[in-house]
Amino acid sequence: MIPHGEAPLSARRQARATGRPAPAISRDAPLAARFLRRYKRFFADVETADGDTLTVHCADPGSLRGFHRPGAAVRCSTSDNPKRRLRHTLEMMRIGRIWVGLHPARGNDVADAAIAAGVPRALSGYARRDREVTPGGEIARGRLDFRLSDHLHDARPAWLEVKSVTLAEGSTALFPDSVTERGRRHLEVLRTLRGRGERAALLFVVQRADCDRVAPADAIDPAYGEALRRAAEDGVELFAIGTRVTAHAIRVERELPVVL
């Protein structure tokens, strides 16, 4: 297994060096409850401290492997939007001594804050960040999470796809937690962009604080692991950041190596 990318860097150490706070996003999850079950992909039942059962939105389309734990402590965000069918959204679950973030879209928000703060270091220096962009040209389909541009020393745009990671074995974070054809298509788009001379990168956002590396989950989706290795060989850059999830925020703690 080969580490990919630069040596890991503590976001706190970088923050001290630059005088800026470590990148983080605010996210309140005021509803404390106990997990009961997840079903029909986007629904979960939880039990409140008062003994009431609530159905909440589950934003993660994956398998949530490792998180089907009846009785586990969870926290949910609350919306006052009257158009919403479900008022609450499952945000995190307590695993041992840490919270694990279970909302994939939070990973993109963390990535935005991290890049703005210069994490990962290799993606720093871009003055403009556009989100949810379609490359165009020969790529008719395949919207990516970010297009970075207006770099002082590199005229090329940098295309970036973000993957939120929740699954872990020991101290290794694993992606994906289920077979993902969509994830493989993203890698093909990144390879095509790299082939036409532009920067292309994948950023894993690990929404848990107990991991020190990221690796492809070959036992779950070997085709994704093969596609990830091919992309790296073709020049697609791989990065990962580890975060600490709390009831009020997700804070970037450090860069992590991607081990292929």
Encode the chain (260 residues) as per-residue pLDDT tens digits.
456 655 455 555 554 444 456 899 998 999 999 999 999 999 999 999 999 999 999 999 999 999 999 999 999 999 999 999 999 999 999 999 999 999 999 999 999 999 999 999 999 999 999 999 998 766 757 789 999 999 999 999 999 999 999 999 999 999 999 999 999 999 999 999 999 999 999 999 999 999 999 999 999 999 999 999 999 999 999 999 999 999 999 999 999 999 99
Nearest in space to 245 (alpha carbons), one of 160, 169, 165? 165
Beta strands, E only, the chain: 3-4, 24-26, 31-39, 43-48, 53-57, 73-78, 88-95, 98-101, 126-133, 144-151, 158-165, 167-169, 172-175, 199-206, 213-216, 237-245, 249-255, 258-259
Region of 50 (left: φ > 0; alpha: ψ -120 to 50; beta: rest) is alpha
Is the pTM higher than 0.85? The answer reads yes
Q: Which domains does the chain have, with CATH numbers?
A: 3-24+102-259 (3.40.1350.60), 31-97 (2.40.50.580)
* Gap between the Cα atoms of 258 and 239, Å rounded: 6
Long-range pairs for 229-235 at CB < 8 Å and ≥24 separation? 229/260, 230/187, 230/191, 231/187, 231/190, 231/191, 231/194, 231/202, 232/4, 232/260, 234/191, 234/194, 234/195, 235/194, 235/200
Q: Residue 155 and residue 127: Cα distance in Å, rounded?
A: 12
Q: Give the strand pairing for 88-95 and 73-78.
A: antiparallel
